[in-house]
Chains A and B, each alone.
Chain A
Amino acid sequence: GAGVSQSPSNKVTEKGKDVELRCDPISGHTALYWYRQSLGQGLEFLIYFQGNSAPDKSGLPSDRFSAERTGGSVSTLTIQRTQQEDSAVYLCASSLEGLAFGEQFFGPGTRLTVL
């Protein structure tokens, strides 16, 4: 079946603008994660959705970042008033349930460049 898909693959925006990044998880996966991969750094956890439970937002770096997941499937990560330090690759992953039950499958990422 299809893997995790993300759109757009690349996004260039101007400082101060808002951006929306989309993630389509693998069908049937109840858990969805967003990570950020900045140049020269590892992956940084942002937010985690599990079924209908309240999301774990503990990794969001500021209140400019938010995410939602509609119908337990597609997720959108929104960054408001983008800053240059937001430039990174944003990765989405999904898994059958939580971490205890198996691997996270990653999408190809969205490369965000803030000018």
Chain B
Amino acid sequence: AQSVTQPDIHITVSEGASLELRCNYSYGATPYLFWYVQSPGQGLQLLLKYFSGDTLVQGIKGFEAEFKRSQSSFNLRKPSVHWSDAAEYFCAVGARNAGNMLTFGGGTRLMVKP
């Protein structure tokens, strides 16, 4: 079965600084990979996804993520963080051949300092 680890429970960055949120997965083949954001009181919103092809994927709100097969990672990055980016971020894995559910990491809560 697949699993997802987000090693950082909390991260605080200054506004304008760069951001990298880590995600490591465990799965026997190439998975579907997703990043979702959950703002306070809001539902989950998809930031970006990787299915195949180019390993660097662009998402909404200026986010990008890179799939690195050798490291089993799918880290989320943003070059310059805005105060509105403060939220909880979830990495998720979907298995290509074993059901259609998503397996989520524990989430990383991002706080942005002015």
Contacts and interface: CB of A to CB of B under 8 A. Distances in A.
B71 interface: no
A19 to B, nearest CB: 20
Contacts of B41: 108
B46 A103 contact: yes
Interface residues of B, number: 26
Interface stretch (A39-47, A64-72, A74-82): A39-47
Nearest to A92: B43
A99 B94 contact: yes
A42 B105 contact: yes
Q: Place the interface of chain A in its size category.
A: 20 to 34
Given A45-B103, A108-B43, A103 B96 contact: no
A45 B102 contact: yes
Contact of A100 (B96, B101, B102): B96
Contact of B102 (A50, A99, A109): A99
Contacts of A42: 4, 6, 90, 104-107
Interface in A11-48: 31, 33, 35, 41-45, 48
B42 interface: yes
A91 B6 CA distance: 20
B99 interface: yes
Contacts of B90: 42-43
B21 to A, nearest CB: 14
B106 A48 contact: no
Interface of A: 3-4, 31, 33, 35, 41-45, 48, 50, 56, 58-59, 91, 93, 98-100, 103-109
Interface of B: 4, 6, 32, 34, 36, 41-46, 49, 51, 90, 92, 94, 96, 99-107
14 contacts: A42-B6, A42-B104, A43-B92, A43-B102, A45-B101, A48-B99, A50-B100, A91-B43, A93-B44, A98-B100, A104-B46, A107-B43, A108-B41, A108-B42
